[in-house]
């Protein structure tokens, strides 16, 4: 990965996404993104529901989020959460990670 002034924030959010996955908590990453100085923006990808970004010179980091209901007919299942984190310089993706996890199940 190329060096960027945003690398420390990228690394922190990567760790936060792992924590969110381990705790099955979809709110951790969004709260931490705001605490780290990212601002809410319109999602870049049409599939995503919310997004957060921070810019530094030609570098930009974007965290996007969506969820979907994994339940089917006559079966209940927890929502599936998807986070996409990208570090971009001059429209070139320098680093990227996607995290998927289910909410904590209340169904047993």
Is 75 a residue whose pLDDT tops 90?
no
Please state which of the ranges 18-27, 54-63, 98-107 shows the lowest mean pLDDT. 98-107
CA distance 27 to 83: 11
For the residues 42-66, what does the mean pLDDT come to? Answer: 96
pTM of the model: 0.90
Distances (CA, A) of 92 to 22, 61, 66: 30, 11, 23
Supply the pLDDT for residue 46: 93
pLDDT of residue 78: 87
């Amino acid at each position: 990965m190329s060096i960027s002034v945003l690398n420390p924030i990228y690394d922190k959010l990567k760790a936060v996404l792992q924590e969110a996955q381990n705790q099955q908590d979809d709110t951790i990453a969004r709260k931490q993104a705001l605490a780290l100085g990212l601002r809410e923006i319109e999602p870049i990808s049409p599939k995503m529901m919310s997004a957060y970004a921070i810019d530094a010179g030609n570098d930009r980091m974007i965290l996007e989020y969506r969820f979907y209901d994994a339940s089917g007919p006559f079966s209940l299942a927890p929502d599936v959460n998807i986070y996409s984190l990208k570090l971009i310089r001059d429209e070139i993706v320098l680093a990227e990670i996607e995290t998927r996890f289910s909410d904590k199940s209340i169904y047993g």
